[in-house]
Structure 1
């Protein structure tokens, strides 16, 4: 789930950006939650209360607080959020900012550029190093997410398969799948028993995948159409030129 904030002093602008994002989400199968703010002060208060966003679309020219100042205050609380400045003045792009943005969008925002910008941000979030944490026999473990080839459910246990080793813990694959979704991880639920890491899929066929360790895993019949669509979206996201 992508948590996104839109901050602009004009309601027509926030409505337009929100509508465009919702269309992209539906088209690209990207679950997202969107919050709209009509002032920088409101957004700062929200962030300072402990709410974190993945992406913030921020107007640079609001009346009470300019977007640059708002971004600086947000950075004091959250160093990782991707800030995208939305501006009417192309001269902003040539400036150096205390809180450098991930990207700029020029008003009026073109739908295709918005889509490209969002997919690049989604890729950036997916590329960040993160861990999968679990507990087994009262011992806590963590594994780099990028090292996990797939999760396999067998009886009451989940097996974590990497190139070097296999780990195990008690749990439900559905819970792991929901965790991957909330964490912006690129995993595909190809079967009741398998949750695979897109980055380690070497071959994608209609009814099976081959992981980069040579393991062939079946895609269940009822999931094939959806998996094909999801895989195509991921290919597009991770092959941006």
Structure 2
């Protein structure tokens, strides 16, 4: 279990760390990392793919940035991360919607509410499979969802899957059927077009018309939507 803490007050960070340690055991292989500002956090973006839970202070003393911005960045790298917002204010609900929070906790209720949120997050993560299973020539295979960069349909029979290590796999399926399967797994992917489904953590650049993933330029169509 890998948990990230973002708060600009060290006493609060220590308090959150202590609560987290009380909620998990050695069997959870707990790893906690913390930052005091977003700029410092973004220097270590390579870690974001593995973050299970993020405890984020909304009211950071950082020019033009807050915990909601941090959550959106985390979601780009790993749509699976569960976000727990911690704050002293209650006037952020409209902005929070786009950051897809798992919980919203007031700092004055930290000791009471955070343990509950962490246990609920653990149960949610345990229910979410991290492998994509498929068959080819009567054999069963599995790939980590985090290692899948994108799917594409090369013809009417096969769907191809590009992995992070540069390899390509294929299996018999229709793209609409694949989309429904991914939705059941509750892992965020993007249907960029009729022929492409991509993992958003690997998008290198995009605008309203195109996105680039692993050097491949994909044109967005009317099919474009988030699968979750």
Q: What TM-score results when the alignment is normalised by the length of structure 2? A: 0.53
Whether the aligned pair in 1 keeps the contact of 2:58 and 2:87 (CA below 8 Å) is yes
Q: Which residue of 2 aligns with 1:75?
A: 75
Unaligned runs of 5+ in 2: 134-138, 144-228
User: CA offsets per residue over residues 116-135 of structure 1, 9 Å max, x none?
Assistant: 100110011111123388xx
Whether the aligned pair in 2 keeps the contact of 1:68 and 1:97 (CA below 8 Å) is no
CA RMSD of aligned residues (A): 2.7
User: CA offsets per residue over residues 142-186 of structure 1, 9 Å max, x none?
Assistant: 39xxxxxxxxxxxxxxxxxxxxxxxxxxxxxxxxxxxxxxxxxxx
Where do residues 137-176 of structure 1 align in structure 2 (5 Å cutoff)?
Answer: 141-142=141-142
Q: Which residue of 2 aligns with 1:32?
A: 30
Aligned-residue offset at 1:73:
1.9
Distance 1:73 1:130, change over 3 A: closer
Hey, which bits of structure 1, 4+ residues long, moved more than 4 A?
A: 48-51
Bigger radius of gyration among the two: 1
Aligned-residue offset at 1:113:
1.5
Q: Which residue of 2 aligns with 1:62?
A: 60
Distance 1:48 1:142, change over 3 A: closer
Whether the aligned pair in 1 keeps the contact of 2:48 and 2:78 (CA below 8 Å) is no
The secondary structure found in structure 2 opposite 1:118 is: helix
Aligned counterparts of 2:90 and 2:27: Cα–Cα separation in 1: 32
Whether the aligned pair in 2 keeps the contact of 1:5 and 1:57 (CA below 8 Å) is yes
- Does structure 1 residue 4 correspond to structure 2 residue 3? yes
Distance 1:33 1:114, change over 3 A: same
Whether the aligned pair in 2 keeps the contact of 1:44 and 1:74 (CA below 8 Å) is no
User: CA offsets per residue over residues 36-81 of structure 1, 9 Å max, x none?
Assistant: 1111122222124665210000000101121111212222222111
Aligned-residue offset at 1:35:
0.7
Whether the aligned pair in 1 keeps the contact of 2:58 and 2:67 (CA below 8 Å) is yes
The secondary structure found in structure 2 opposite 1:98 is: helix
